[in-house]
With several copies, the nearest count.
Chain A
Amino acid sequence: MSETPLVEMTGIDKAFSGNQVLTKVAFNVKKGEVHALMGENGAGKSTLVKILTGIHPRDKGQIKINGEEVSFTNPKQAEAKGIVVIHQELNIIPHLTVTQNMFLGKEITYGKTGILNHKKMKAETVKNLHALGVSNIDPDDLAGDLSVGKQQMIEIARALATNAELIIMDEPTAALTDREIESLFKVVNALRTEGVSFVYISHRMEEIFELCDRITVLRDGQFIGTEKIVETSLEEIVKMMVGRELGERFPSRDHNIGETIFEVTNLSSKEGLFRNISFGVRKGEVLGVAGLMGAGRTEVMETIFGYRKKESGTVTLNGKLLNTKQPSNLIKAGIGFITEDRKTKGLVLGSTIRENIALTNLSTVSTNGVISKSKEKSLVNELIKQLKVRTTGSEQEVKSLSGGNQQKVVIAKWLGIEPKVLILDEPTRGVDIGAKKEIYSIINELTKNGVAVIMISSELPEVLGVSDRIMVLHEGKITAFLDRDEANQENIMMAATGGSKA
């Protein structure tokens, strides 16, 4: 079939300040197909998208849309040609309402007056969200008050609402739980039958095979190949991405678990986001925490860590009561917290990798207040190596790292403190399959050395694959504890949606 593809990119080169990011990349999307774009963190997926939509200028190469050569200089032009993007970084404006965000830059006005038609926009917003099966978002809520997941749904709804010919989704599901993903896929499939094309970027293998028609793989900014999904297999794709066999997805967990060292009792939130949370974690155990978006998992952990105010409840480590007034206390006690939202809470984006990693380890790399360059350097380089962070060196700004590598930096800064208890909130969000495995094995290593791990994850396969025990939250209440062997997708979802205790 030799019909001209909707989008055809050929020989695309791109370098950021000397650092070659894309070389001779070819990529094309046919009408009415869902085309997966895969590759490790830093492979250049987002960059390729940004070049297509004119956010970054390209160094070399050609872009054709419906056969005609184009070169956009700003995203508005791409949109005019029917191309919209859901960017990997959230582009929500916190102080604006859901409706206002939904119609940002394409407000509905009374004719050409420039006067806003609030009613119409609000109605449309509700309609668009319902189309995605989202009913628990009030169009008048401030977007900033919503959970990452809900914000992501808004962006998706916003993109789907435009009658675009091509919708590019850069890791849209990173912040979503199965329920939202399901409804998202429904909509995508519906639109596909109407002839809308999609570029779909994700690190979740299952999704690719469930949703996509073709797949293009990048590695280190090189074009590796384009395959028909039906003619390929997970192993083959992984091989294309990483360049080698990866073997088992989850490392085997076969070490003995000790007694309970970390205990949370009757914890309740001041903001009323959760009530009476009680659980314990044992030495060397991984406690998985599952739940739907907005269940309050993050809030529970942030409260334990002293970042949010608690109403009541206690937190103890080795029977010692911990003061949860401020994070520094818990860090001193040996508790680490890898936050869900790395950009706003995890990293100082403008600073170097070194400065970010050192931040949690200032006491160890300094003697009475004075930092020792050598100690700092060795610690940082040590961790960069251990986590295989893809970087030009410890002096690179984390801003310019790919999403996945940023996540590794966050993990690195917490491994530095050699925690007794480590809390991970969506630790593999936006992380490629190779890196995921590395993170799993890090978790394994930690537990082997007796660290107690709490891992929030919205990826059920991950929860099932890594946890020894699974705690499920629903609307701020614990609805189930499931042991590794009794747990499965069904009973977790049941509990997560508020169904009777499993």
Chain B
Amino acid sequence: MKRFITNNISIIGPFIGLILFSIILGVLSDSFFTVDNILNLLRQISINALIAFGMTFVILTAGIDLSVGSILALGSALTAGLLTSGMDPLLAVFIGLIIGLVLGAVNGLVITKGKVAPFIATLATMTIYRGATLVFTDGRPITGLSDSFTFEMIGKGYVFGIPFPVLLMLVIFGILFFVLRKTVFGRQVYAIGGNEEAAILSGIKADRVKIWVYSLTGMLSVLAGIILTSRLNSAQPTAGTSFELDAIAAVVIGGTSLAGGKGRIVGTLIGALIIGVIDNGLNLLNVSSFYQQIVKGGIILLAVLLDRRQSK
């Protein structure tokens, strides 16, 4: 039991937080605990969650990625472009994901080979990718996408009554959970974040691992973007603006240390849920949007404070 607690200490704080907020909301609004709303809530968080999963890897290596929102926008725009050009949806989506992978890899290369601090490197690419999106879309949303069932499915579909994006999120969560917990790659991610020098001297190819981590994040961002595109029936040039903040918040609320080397992807899922619950709840309670920001910030702070042991 003690072992269980110490193993999971980092996620107990946020978990309690989540339960707490949910209960409060359930009491305050009877529309909260309806099946409809729960599914609705899960579908809403799936996008942030997918990005945050990638961000978890990045932050575990003691990095950060501010460009996720722009990658999301550029990836979806290009995918939408392919779709409107009549390409087979699945192929278009696949190419879109590859593009995300490449954009992420560029981040990784700048950071490792260029030896630029992740924050500033991705701050720059964030701007560049956004600009590229605007150039490509000429500042207009791309519409008239294939109304193929497959593509609609991605964002709007249901499987056994569960929204498809939610399934996607859960499957990918499962995979990444396994990768972090049980694979050599996962172990290397933690080691690099914990002490890069020691990791390298232990024969870990830190640069390569990092490049993969950023590539993964890029790909997940585009995947999130594709879901968004499918849901919105269009790719927006301004899509994903400031998504990086919600993603980072989810990771950190989930108990992952920004210093790297410590954290769990379960925590990130919980973090994304907390943020989702806050947004959903504030709407349900019809809190004025001005106060919403105050409340949201306050709750995020609260969630992290519940978890202060970690942030030491």
The reply to whether A and B meet directly (CB within 8 Å) is yes
**B209 CB, min distance to chain A CBs, angstroms:** 11
The answer to whether A346 and B262 touch across the interface, beta carbons within 8 angstroms, is no
The answer to whether A359 and B204 touch across the interface, beta carbons within 8 angstroms, is yes
Q: Which of B189-232 contact A (CB under 8 A)?
A: 190-191, 193-195, 197-205
Stretch of A87-95, A464-472, A490-498 contacting B (4+ beta carbons < 8 Å): A87-95
**B311 CB, min distance to chain A CBs, angstroms:** 14
Tell me the complex Cα distance, A106–B204, Å: 9
Interface centre among B182, B187, B203, by most A CB within 10 Å?
B203
Tell me the complex Cα distance, A371–B200, Å: 19
Tell me the complex Cα distance, A194–B261, Å: 38
Chain B residue with Cβ nearest A79: B203
Tell me the complex Cα distance, A286–B190, Å: 35
Interface centre among A96, A307, A346, A369, by most B CB within 10 Å?
A96
Q: Is there a chain B Cβ closer than 8 Å to A337's Cβ?
A: yes
Partner of A326, one of B184, B185, B187, B205: B205
A96 touching B190 in the complex, CB below 8 Å, given contacts A307-B200, A359-B204: yes
The answer to whether A355 and B201 touch across the interface, beta carbons within 8 angstroms, is no
**A157 CB, min distance to chain B CBs, angstroms:** 14
**B259 CB, min distance to chain A CBs, angstroms:** 9
Q: Which residues of B contact A305 (CB under 8 A)?
A: 201
Tell me the complex Cα distance, A371–B186, Å: 10
* Interface size class, chain B: 20 to 34
The answer to whether B187 and A348 touch across the interface, beta carbons within 8 angstroms, is no
Q: Which residues of B contact A92 (CB under 8 A)?
A: 195, 198
Q: Is there a chain B Cβ closer than 8 Å to A135's Cβ?
A: no
A328 touching B205 in the complex, CB below 8 Å, given contacts A93-B195, A96-B194: yes
Q: Which of B161-183 contact A (CB under 8 A)?
A: 182-183
**A70 CB, min distance to chain B CBs, angstroms:** 16
The answer to whether B203 and A74 touch across the interface, beta carbons within 8 angstroms, is yes
Q: Is there a chain A Cβ closer than 8 Å to B44's Cβ?
A: no
Q: Is the interface of B mostly helix, strand, loop or mixed?
A: helix
A357-393 Cβ-contact flags toward B at 8 Å (1 or 0): 0111011001001110000000000000000000000
Partner of B183, one of A94, A95, A371: A371
The answer to whether A105 and B183 touch across the interface, beta carbons within 8 angstroms, is no
A93 touching B182 in the complex, CB below 8 Å, given contacts A55-B201, A116-B187, A359-B187: no
Q: Is there a chain A Cβ closer than 8 Å to B115's Cβ?
A: no
Tell me the complex Cα distance, A337–B205, Å: 16
**B215 CB, min distance to chain A CBs, angstroms:** 17
Tell me the complex Cα distance, A20–B243, Å: 48
* Interface size class, chain A: 35 or more
The answer to whether B184 and A345 touch across the interface, beta carbons within 8 angstroms, is no
Tell me the complex Cα distance, A475–B194, Å: 29
A54-75 Cβ-contact flags toward B at 8 Å (1 or 0): 0100000000000000000011
**A337 CB, min distance to chain B CBs, angstroms:** 7
Q: Is there a chain B Cβ closer than 8 Å to A460's Cβ?
A: no
Q: Which residues of A contact B184 (CB under 8 A)?
A: 107, 109, 114, 116, 362-363, 366, 369-371
Q: Is there a chain A Cβ closer than 8 Å to B3's Cβ?
A: yes
Partner of A75, one of B182, B185, B203: B203
Q: Which of A319-360 contact B (CB under 8 A)?
A: 326-328, 331-332, 337, 339, 344-351, 355, 358-360
The answer to whether A105 and B204 touch across the interface, beta carbons within 8 angstroms, is yes
The answer to whether A105 and B203 touch across the interface, beta carbons within 8 angstroms, is yes
A to B CB contacts below 8 Å, 5 in the list: A79-B203, A93-B198, A328-B203, A362-B187, A370-B183
Q: A93-B191, A350-B195 are in contact. List 12 more A-B contacts (CB 8 A).
A: A75-B203, A91-B202, A93-B199, A95-B261, A106-B202, A345-B198, A346-B198, A358-B187, A360-B202, A363-B184, A369-B185, A370-B184
A-B pairs, 6 with minimum CB distance: A105-B202, A76-B203, A348-B194, A93-B194, A91-B198, A331-B203
